[in-house]
């Protein structure tokens, strides 16, 4: 039997301790490439932020993040949020599709609808004429709430991209 040479020893040791991978990685489980500039905001988010622009002078601060869904006429979706008593909140939903109509509603943890109003200064034309809705609420107690977004009317037959952003003061 021949003695093992140094190169063979290194190859076997590398396989044993994992320096040389024994099997290829599954591409489906590999780590995705991260965009160093961060996520690209959607057109719906841009329009919702534009619809909130008049309220920045009143001291409303926009929350980070974006919630986007696709809705067809008559569809509704809900987002759970934590709200605090004594604060005022603005919710804006927008879509780049022209001619639609949204209904925004806020519900408490028991499912009871919370009174919401369209704030003075909410101008649908501020979002470039796209579909945009803004409501203001002041919850009576702190806790979990659900914001409902419904696409009540839509000029198209297919789903529409909808983005929801909110601000507090």
CA 28-30-36 angle, to 5 degrees, is 120
In a domain, 30, yes or no: no
Maximum CA extent, the chain = 92
Average pLDDT on 122-141 reads: 71
In a domain, 159, yes or no: yes
pLDDT band at 12 (very low <50, low <70, confident <90, very high): low
Distance CA 41, CA 21 (A): 39
| pLDDT tens for each residue of 57-101 | 888 888 877 788 888 888 889 999 999 999 999 998 888 877 677
In a domain, 137, yes or no: yes
Q: Residue 69 in contact with residue 121, Cβ under 8 Å?
A: no
Q: What is the DSSP string of 16-29?
A: HHTSS-SSPPPGGG
In a domain, 143, yes or no: yes
pLDDT over 80 at 45, yes or no: yes
CATH code for the domain of 124? 2.60.120.380
Q: What is the pTM of this model?
A: 0.68
Which range of residues forms the domain containing residue 159? 43-168
In a domain, 160, yes or no: yes
How many domains does the chain contain in total? 1
Q: Could you tell me how far CA 160 lies from the centroid of its own chain? A: 15
């Amino acid at each position: 039997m021949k003695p093992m040479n140094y190169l063979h020893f290194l190859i076997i040791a590398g396989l044993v301790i994992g320096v040389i991978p024994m099997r290829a990685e599954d591409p489906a489980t590999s780590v995705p490439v991260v965009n160093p500039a961060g996520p690209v905001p959607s057109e719906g988010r841009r329009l919702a932020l534009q619809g909130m622009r008049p309220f920045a002078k009143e001291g409303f601060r926009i929350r980070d993040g974006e919630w986007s869904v696709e809705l067809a006429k008559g569809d509704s979706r809900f987002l759970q949020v934590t709200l605090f008593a004594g604060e005022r909140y603005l919710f804006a939903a927008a879509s780049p599709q022209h001619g639609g109509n949204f209904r925004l509603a806020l519900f408490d943890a028991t499912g009871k609808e919370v009174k919401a109003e369209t704030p003075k200064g909410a101008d649908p034309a501020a979002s470039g004429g796209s579909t945009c809705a803004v409501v203001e609420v002041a919850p009576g107690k702190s806790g979990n709430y659900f914001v409902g977004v419904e696409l009540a009317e839509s000029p198209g037959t297919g789903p529409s991209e909808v983005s929801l952003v909110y601000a507090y003061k």
